[in-house]
Amino acid sequence: MGKAWLSLGANIGDAKAQLLQAIKLLNENLNIEVIQQSKIIITEPWGNKDQNHFHNMAIEIETILYPEALLRTCLDIEQQMGRKRKEKWGPRLIDIDIIAIERIEVKTKNLTLPHPHAFERDFVMKPLREISPKTADWIILQAKKNPS
């Protein structure tokens, strides 16, 4: 199994309950084990500012899934929970992003790891730094090494 770090966010309805439901669904997957989770922080919206504040957190998981399969699993859970993708940076019932997997770099049509914008977003980095400061530092180093 390998470690991965995910960022979760929500700002529609009972955001805290949705984050906890997403963690429950991830942990119910036989290929994923949630190892630790950060505190939930409340942040201003990113991009479209005319929406509710977000509840954000990070989790560390162990998984046997390859990156694309983990992405598909996260998207399936979002859909199962009722997420509708309407606008970029718009309101979200749930958002599950892969931030990093171990110390690997991936660049495919659907997935770039480490997440190319994580280092710019306090709502990602603050919870990540709480549970895995070394991973947060590695993401910043990768961003400096490979500017977009």
The domain limits of the chain are 2-145
Active site residues: 83, 92, 95, 97
Give the single-character DSSP code of 114: S
Q: For 6-62, how does the pLDDT look when each residue is reduced to its tens digit (9 = 90+)?
A: 999 999 999 999 999 999 999 999 999 999 999 999 998 877 778 899 999 999 999
Q: Confidence class of residue 87 from pLDDT cuts 50, 70 and 90?
A: low
Average pLDDT over residues 101-119: 82
- What's residue 90's pLDDT? 65
Helix%, strand%, coil% for the chain, nearest 5: 35, 25, 35
Q: Is the pLDDT of residue 129 over 80?
A: yes
- If one compares 54 and 89, the residue with the highest pLDDT of the two is 54
Q: Is the pLDDT of residue 122 over 90?
A: no
Burial group, residue 88, by CB count within 10 angstroms (0-12, 13-18, 19+): exposed
pTM for the whole thing? 0.91
Q: Which fold has domain 2-145?
A: Alpha-Beta Plaits (3.30.70)
Q: For 58-76, how does the pLDDT look when each residue is reduced to its tens digit (9 = 90+)?
A: 999 999 999 999 999 999 9
- What's residue 89's pLDDT? 64
- Mean pLDDT (the chain) is 89
3-state secondary structure of 65: coil
